[in-house]
Amino acid sequence: MAHIFDIAGAIRDTSGLYKDGVKIDPNRVKFPSTDVFHGINKASRIEGDIFDLEVTGSIPPEIDGTFFRVQPDHRYPPIYEDDIHFNGDGNVTAIRISHGHAHFKQRYVHTERYRHETAAGRALFGRYRNPYTDNEVVKGVIRTAANTNVFFWRGMLLATKEDGPAYAMDPETLDTIGRYDFEGQVLSPTFTAHPKFDPVTGEMVCYGYEAGGNGNDGSCDIVVYTISPDGFKTEEAWYKAPFCGIIHDCGISENYLVLPMTPLKCDAERLKNGENHWAWDPEEDQIVPRPHCRVLRGREWPDCLRPDCRRRQCLLLLPSRRQAGDDSEAHQQDHALDLRPKGQERLVRGTV
């Protein structure tokens, strides 16, 4: 299992671009010499079209469709030298395949963040999910980069990142339509990048964490929504988490929505000091029964519903499978990423 601090790499000589980790000339377009901005993570900064891509081999003529992806792609060099890949602007790619040919289209998600920085010609937003490190001219501006996931909803392509609202795009042109709040029905400051669709009812089950304030302030509020296939909100439930921890993804079954309370915590005072949004502090997971989103609080939920958390020292990111046969059991398998600070001793394995 890769260690994220090994992936990020050490900061190398940047030829005077940064002093004490802060960009000296904010108007100079030159990226840091860190591994985050090299190799597969190097910013492409491209919007454009390529007709008839060169293809190795041949494309079966019966394939007819479009592959969409979104990636973090910094439009401008960051304010802070040690910035991370996840802080890059959302850039959506569409590869259209038809009649044995493939065509490429790529456009940035034109978020409020993107529009303000484009107008200024430089980075204005600071550390990942820390508004206290932003330039004063963008105080109060929605910070999301919409760089994590894209999915279809009622004829639109929604670009999402869990720290802000969704943005709607035209799936044919990739033009940004604008901020999307489900016709005024979803007003929380945050919205998950990984909603789930009930295969039986067709409902969208979605949520937002850190949803009680501006989305970047350590709020313990979580909101859960159910949206009908025809676009109407049928459920909205709010409750307090025992702490503000990252809930990157979820899992659903017929009876449950599983929200993994992972061991990365946010602290409001740490944010005010200009530090990182997340810091390691192992804690428990959460399960929210559905329908009606009844609240089971922290360690108070029944022993029969406690998940197997043998990987307590890992960040559970993307569930690969979840199942629940009745009210007595809920199982979820996850992909895990080791996010312990370098040098921190590995936790003792155990089951909660």
- The single residue listed with the structure tokens 């030159």 is 30
- pLDDT value of position 16: 86
pLDDT tens digit sequence for 17-69: 999 999 999 999 999 999 899 888 899 999 999 999 999 999 999 999 999 99
CA distance 69 to 147: 10
Other Cβ atoms closer than 10 A to 101: 13
What does the domain layout of the chain look like in residue ranges? 33-180, 196-319
Minimal CA–CA distance to 73: which of 32, 42, 39, 111? 42
Mean pLDDT of 314-333: 51
CA distance 247 to 264: 9
- The single residue listed with the structure tokens 């033009």 is 175
- The single residue listed with the structure tokens 């089951």 is 351
CA distance 95 to 108: 15
- pLDDT value of position 148: 98
Distance set, CA 183 to CA 103, 159, 265, 268 (Å)? 33, 16, 32, 31
Question: Is 194 annotated as belonging to a binding site?
Answer: yes
- pLDDT value of position 40: 86
Mean pLDDT of 214-228: 96
- Which amino acid is located at 96 in the chain? R
- pLDDT value of position 29: 95
Sign of the alpha-carbon dihedral angle for 312, 317, 323, 324:
positive
- The single residue listed with the structure tokens 């312990």 is 340
- pLDDT value of position 262: 77
Query: Does residue 348 register a pLDDT over 50?
Result: no
38 Cβ contact list (under 8 Å, min separation 6): none
**Is residue 27 helix, strand or coil?**
coil
Minimal CA–CA distance to 206: which of 216, 221, 191, 188? 191
- Around 270, how many Cα atoms within 13 Å sit in the side-chain half-sphere? 15
pLDDT tens digit sequence for 58-106: 999 999 999 999 999 999 999 999 999 999 999 999 999 999 999 999 9
pLDDT tens digit sequence for 163-220: 999 999 999 999 999 999 999 999 999 999 999 999 999 999 999 999 999 999 999 9
pLDDT tens digit sequence for 271-306: 999 999 998 875 545 555 666 655 454 444 444 444
CA distance 141 to 131: 9
Query: Does residue 337 register a pLDDT over 60?
Result: no
